[in-house]
Amino acid sequence: MKKFLFILMLVVIVPLAGCQTATNEIKDIDGVSMVSAKNACDILGLTYADKDGGFVIKQDDIKLEFNFSNNYVYKDKFIMYVMEKPAVDKRDVAYLPISFFSDYLKVDIQKGNELPKSGNVSLYKVVKFLPKEIIDAINDKSYPNRDKILEEIEIPRSMGIQISNINMYKVIITTPLSEFSNVLKTELGQHGLSEKEIEGMSYNDYKTIERSWKLTKEMTESAKKIYPELANTDLNTWTYGDYEDYYTKKDKENFEHEFTKEQIAQLNQRGILLEDVHWLLKDFYKIDTILAQPDKVLKKDIEGYYQFNIDTLTSQAR
């Protein structure tokens, strides 16, 4: 009987110990540093679950899906991120590129390409949300994880406005790609996607994939002309996403510099956010004309833009 128990321990426990060792390894797989997805989830306070052909990473009701067949990260069947390499299954251990954690989840990777030994991440901060999720969270006070969603999708409002001001960059644009110009499908095809892969994609999927493309030579030359401060910067490794992030930040800075300190002070005094001046300029054209308007007029104008976004999402959520 003792001999039988000893053999049973060897058969069951030893392989399990071996698997545990494997999950703690940082592996170089085809030149890419990768880490066990399950182990990383344990460290970062996320939930890991296997599925056919891949696995899922969860937090509350948010599910990120991974397939071993491609390098896309999905939420609600829409592409959220494009990894440098697909997830890999090695001896029943799923591995993810470390860059997924650093670039998408914004985890601080320690020296030696290692994850921190502890610490939680928030998927709410990095994912986009369906129009229905956003509208339901706004309207239903009992909606699951409502406060966490609103914290990420609502941005500051001008002049004490009560209507939600939605960060539209956090919204999944669910419109099928078929409703847009064929140029977008052509671009996807030129970057190696098959017609079968493109079929059924949304505009959100296109924009997410586009962010992963490397800048062309013409684009790098154009970027350096538009932004002279990039003249001595090596843009050969930059992606569309890198450039988009750069010019979004730079254009925001340049926009602020278009106004005098006195004009900025007046806007602040009246509770008008600089981000909302974009909307006001569409209707009043000049900053001096804006400042000449009574608060009631400006507040109503800004409310109209906030409400327009809400109405758009409500329509898409049906």
Same domain, 133 and 73: no
pTM: 0.89
Contact call for residues 165 and 157 (beta carbons, < 8 A): yes
HSE-up of residue 159 (Cα within 13 Å, Cβ side)? 20
pLDDT at 118: 64
Report the distance separating Cα 311 and Cα 318, nearest Å: 11
Burial class (CB in 10 A: 0-12, 13-18, 19+), 261: exposed
Please tell me the total count of domains within the chain.
2
pLDDT at 108: 85
pLDDT in tens, the chain (318 residues): 444 443 333 334 334 433 433 344 688 999 999 999 999 999 999 999 999 999 999 999 999 999 999 999 999 999 999 999 999 999 999 999 999 999 999 998 876 667 776 678 999 999 999 999 999 999 999 999 999 999 999 999 999 999 999 999 999 999 999 999 999 999 999 999 999 999 999 999 999 999 999 999 999 999 999 999 999 999 999 999 999 999 999 999 999 999 999 999 999 999 999 999 999 999 999 999 999 999 999 999 999 999 999 999 999 998
Residues 6 or more apart whose Cβ sits within 8 Å of residue 124: 59, 62, 145, 148, 149, 151, 152
CB atoms within 10 A of CB 93: 17
Same domain, 154 and 67: no
Same domain, 103 and 38: yes
Q: Which of 95, 125, 155 is the last residue of a domain?
A: 125
Report the distance separating Cα 79 and Cα 184, nearest Å: 16
Which residues span the domain enclosing 120?
24-125
Same domain, 161 and 265: yes
pLDDT at 112: 64
Same domain, 265 and 116: no
Listed in order, strand segments (DSSP E) in 41-159 are 47-51, 54-59, 62-67, 72-75, 78-82, 88-90, 93-97
pLDDT at 5: 40
pLDDT at 133: 98
Is 59 within the bounds of a domain? yes
Same domain, 64 and 111: yes
Report the distance separating Cα 208 and Cα 81, nearest Å: 6
pLDDT at 318: 87
Residues 6 or more apart whose Cβ sits within 8 Å of residue 272: 158, 159, 280, 298, 302
Is 194 within the bounds of a domain? no
Burial class (CB in 10 A: 0-12, 13-18, 19+), 298: buried
